[in-house]
Amino acid sequence: MIAPIVLKFPELIHVGHVCNYKKKQTLLNEGDICDSVFIIEKGCVRAWFNGDGHDVTFQFFFEGDIATSFESLKRGLPALYNIETITDTRLRVISKKALLHLLNSNNNIQQAVDDFISERLYHYQALFISRIKNNPKQRYEELLNLQPNIFDKVPHHYIATYLGMTPVSLSRIRAKNR
């Protein structure tokens, strides 16, 4: 599947190249400076960080999504998280240099990227508020409403960390909701 932004702006295909990655390959390490944007053409990717020795997933990316650390890419700051493939994955990789050249030469693509970043900020705000406001069962139900097929695509232990619970707690909640 091709990302909606790529369908709207096929110029992105010409500046990027396709790379295939195996399951559990790291695309970006926490602390590194990000120098690429990854458009998921096939497979699944996650963003995660190490919280007190525990792996905490905070976002999943599926076919058509864009994964990167925009903060690191734009400002040259160390990435606050890792990006890793969950499955064998085919990505379109766009270098920072190629992306910046394209953004500087095309105001429509610049606006589309700005809109995408705003949408992603909203997603992070909603996730943050949900973690504070909702209990684990409510977060589980919210996830099922937003992404009903996620349990078919993502290992359950990653979903548990995303929801802020243990895999055992997730199993209990799922069993009660069947």
**Is the pLDDT assigned to residue 51 strictly greater than 90?**
no
Could you tell me if residue 10 is inside a domain? Answer: yes
Which CATH number do you get for residue 37? 2.60.120.10
Could you tell me if residue 123 is inside a domain? Answer: no
What's this model's pTM, rounded to 2 decimal places?
0.87
Q: Give the structural domain span for 51.
A: 4-106
Could you tell me if residue 159 is inside a domain? Answer: no
- What pLDDT, on the 0 to 100 scale, is given for residue 91? 95
Q: Which residues of 84-115 are buried (b: 16+ CB within 10 A; e: fewer)?
A: bbbbebebbbbebebbeebeeeeeebeebbee
**Span 140-171, pLDDT tens digits:** 999 999 999 999 999 999 999 999 999 999 99
Place of tokens 């993502």: 154
**Is the pLDDT assigned to residue 112 strictly greater than 60?**
yes
Position 56, amino acid: V
Instruction: Report residue 112 as tokens.
Output: 């589309």
Q: How buried is 119 (Cβ within 10 angstroms: 0-12 exposed, 13-18 middle, 19+ buried)?
A: exposed
Could you tell me if residue 112 is inside a domain? Answer: no
Could you tell me if residue 73 is inside a domain? Answer: yes
Could you tell me if residue 72 is inside a domain? Answer: yes
178 — pLDDT class (breaks 50, 70, 90): confident
Q: How buried is 46 (Cβ within 10 angstroms: 0-12 exposed, 13-18 middle, 19+ buried)?
A: buried
- Write the CA distances from 25 to 22, 89, 155, 156, integer angstroms: 6, 9, 15, 18
- Write the CA distances from 79 to 34, 66, 115, integer angstroms: 7, 16, 21
- What pLDDT, on the 0 to 100 scale, is given for residue 30? 96
Could you tell me if residue 129 is inside a domain? Answer: no
Distance CA 158, CA 178 (A): 20
Domain count, the chain: 1
